[in-house]
Structure 1
């Protein structure tokens, strides 16, 4: 019997402890909010500066990214307010990043010839300049970010070729000559297959706040914070939800504050008069940073075979409905393993995607990362027997459109695969919305989205006679429409197996 390889080494550990608490609940800043909707907020309380994006329903107001700058009251003070434009994906969007001595940094996303292009720019005394970030690529219509108080770091939320989900968080460091390095992913310990957006880096350059729609939140987006553990910018403490004083059943994003200031600011869609409102809350944050200490660390390089103490990582493929084991295949690149009892041993966590499939079931792809725990991990496959209805959780669309978000094709490729493997299967694609808004427009939108999905599947060589489609609007909810948390379950694309 072999055991895992153990390496002992000395590393520098920085012990950082943060305590985040609030005095009361959030309150709206009425002087800033309009029915247009506010989003992507950044602040500089010491200079009484605030900037955010207003959503204009697809109507460009002007060619200038900053279409409004004015003085507005916040509390007893008068602040300078900079307002940016968002055209809801039809032309592009702009969003502020932060105020520095160089000017106001902001994101700009444009749409041209079927592609989105993301940039970073800086506005100083009316002069706009490009910020050169090598190889910067964003495939999403949305780009948000922040810049550190000392101007040495930017954290951007964008969708690149190596994102784990839709938008991931990336670090951009300033080099000694003043130029910017390329954007690097903050790692899959922090980024998930869901969206991580609107980052804010505290003045210690270690405490990071961000919004995400990962499972476990109270609404569509919740605010979290995490602590950077070392200088790699890829090791983070377990993200902590900011809790019900901030997060609601709506969407909370764009948290920001300044050391010593009384108030923290953020965006919430809960009970807002538009897509989002500017909120503020009394805030306390205490950070204690220890000196560097040498710590003896144990690293498991790889598990080479099953051990007596159960430390091997195993994956069991099961039927999603019955829980029974399935004879299945595990495919990694051009390598294939057969598991007659549905059980596979993972030799190394290499952050590569691996596919599991079983005849008569929709395949599933997972990532071999540290979310897999020693012992038995389950992968549940859904049957494609006649009458089965399967929700495509990762087929996503840009808001209010039938345009699929890049990455949706990954799950649709699995549908194509199961249709190729089971040539007698025919399916009915179903598009659903929640019940908010105009019912007729919801029905039209759901039908348009079904057509987009059907067109993609047919483009991959599947006969159009095997794929039908229908939009249902908000007529077939699977959950209550009373809260955002349950409404989002009703916004879905699924397929029903008509014949097998």
Structure 2
């Protein structure tokens, strides 16, 4: 069988650039990440902030496509709707038979913006792409809004540019390997020869997996971002030759997304554009056009296409939001404690989303602080087979405004007694910290019971419990003048008193902000 793999392009000094064939493709919007289908007949790219994107003009990027015409030009592009959600979407590669497309980002079942970034894939059924399936890459993290990636044509090597756990600067380039059965290895940083204290992105790997092409603003060059190349020296994927600029490509503009094909290369540049990136072609051929290819597909590739992809199952992910209007909170400090280990969890500054890997069974304690909000703690319990499902949580923070009521579910008392149990102290200490951090705030403590028993006894008990909480706060240095209290007994239920499961929710202590 014949195989048509992406080949290395040898450049001549007399070579030139051709843009006219993309006259219907390039627009006043930002075109990024051009990728050809294996037969060279369909061009996929990402277009940002376009009104026809799934998320409209606020959408950071949708995948669009254009078809090769008989005269060598490319058709007016259309939105590949089935491959897009409200996050940043881009193509990183195909299986050689064009039946499977690999994508940037993760996908929800609807078109909403996914809580996690990552890599996904979609399988073509007939003339339509199927719903994208999220791929599990352990310890994958990207704090950046910049994206880029490449998958080898045999589906075994995945490169991506992210700002991850051990990134040395801005975005770094990492590699992950296909371990079979839908599993991928932990990302490996390519090392300091490639990655600098600046940014490296949009990687591409030659068909023999030896030559790396990438964009960078950290290795010098002609403009704000240039295309460099380097050769892999061994199988560690950390030893590389010193990167050198790709000839005849770089300009004073911003070059990204370079991919060589047979006799030409595609990339994007802002040079001589409207300020946004346009798709460019580089060729040393006097006839500047792209020819379709006939692709023969080996049986091994067809077998690989049938391999199922596991949905991302080994993470806890979610969003931190304001409790009053459910808007995301980006400027939040989120800490995670597992056993004796504590770490700060990155939170997207715009969407308030986060994602952390599940590394063991047990309790995952999330502590949240944000300016203008009351701190909160949430515990996520991981039990059984941690790969059985992903865990999604929505964490809510109460704003510091007059009238805001904050429940203290972890403040507990001895049965039918106002005596505080010792396990309540961490919750009460957070109230102390809140009062110290906001010295002008005044609160009203409120005690509640369920409706069982004698009402006047319940009223007396709820008042006594309020007094116990007040005494604890004062003992920690909070001025008593900032605290008032009242017991309501069982007169203000928040749940049904008809059964114990909901009745226990009515036995509570809370506080309301009465002065900011």
TM-score range, shorter chain: 0.3 to 0.5
TM-score normalised to the size of structure 2? 0.46
Hey, which of these two has a bigger chunk of strand by percent?
1
**Structure 1-normalised TM-score?**
0.47
Rg bigger for which structure?
2
